Amino acid sequence: MEATFRALSEHGYSELRMRDIGEELDVSRSLIHYHYDSKHDLISAFLEYIVEQYEGSVDVTEETDPWSELDRRIDQCLFGPEFDDGFGHWERMRVYHELFSQAQHDERHQEIFNRHYERIRGSITQVIERGIEEEMFRTVNADEIAQLITDIIHVARERKISLGQDDAPEQARRAIDTFVLASLVNPEFVVTSMKSSN
């Protein structure tokens, strides 16, 4: 999968051949084909891999409160986890966004992308729903808010990648805080916690 990242980064999706991934790995094309029937299978596994790298590595446990979890998930998507091997967050995001913009040209590819996009949005929906249950958040439309957060993150990365607007991610973080997360605050919860801590 790391070889796929590097091959996609170098060749782009439309020019990518199984052979390029083989070259990155120093193995034959047929070995790659042994594991992945087609470019579609590979891209599907690859998107799974990216989602896992970003979603799976968020530092949360069952004890993490919904605010902190939401915070960490947003920051992970915007600013990325740490990577050891020098192929960093923005190089990875450049590959991801290129795949995204090409998804329109292939129905199967588009389907895979929709599924993975749904998973990213879904984990934000879940933490908002948990916050509502625990009465930390107001009773809001969790799907709508998760969509908006996902959208703001997506476009900020794109403005940085496509237009070179390097402050876009920080700007997006402030916009999410001001316009979206502020609407989650349950004022009664704050009062209750303050009372119980007295």
**For binding to a second copy (CB under 8 A), which residues are involved?**
94, 97-98, 100-104, 110, 113-114, 117, 144, 147-148, 151-152, 154-156, 158-159, 161-165, 171-172, 174-175, 178-180, 183
Nearer Cβ to a second copy (33/94): 94
Nearer Cβ to a second copy (63/107): 107
Q: Least distance (Å) from a second copy to the CB of residue 69?
A: 21
**In whole angstroms, what is the distance from residue 7 CA to residue 21 CA?**
6
Nearer Cβ to a second copy (17/105): 105
**Tally of CB atoms within 10 A around 129:** 16
**In whole angstroms, what is the distance from residue 101 CA to residue 95 CA?**
10
Q: Least distance (Å) from a second copy to the CB of residue 141?
A: 9
Q: Least distance (Å) from a second copy to the CB of residue 173?
A: 12
Nearer Cβ to a second copy (174/195): 174
Q: Least distance (Å) from a second copy to the CB of residue 113?
A: 6
Nearer Cβ to a second copy (135/151): 151
Q: Least distance (Å) from a second copy to the CB of residue 129?
A: 18
Q: Which one, of 14, 100, 108, lies nearest residue 50 by Cα?
A: 100
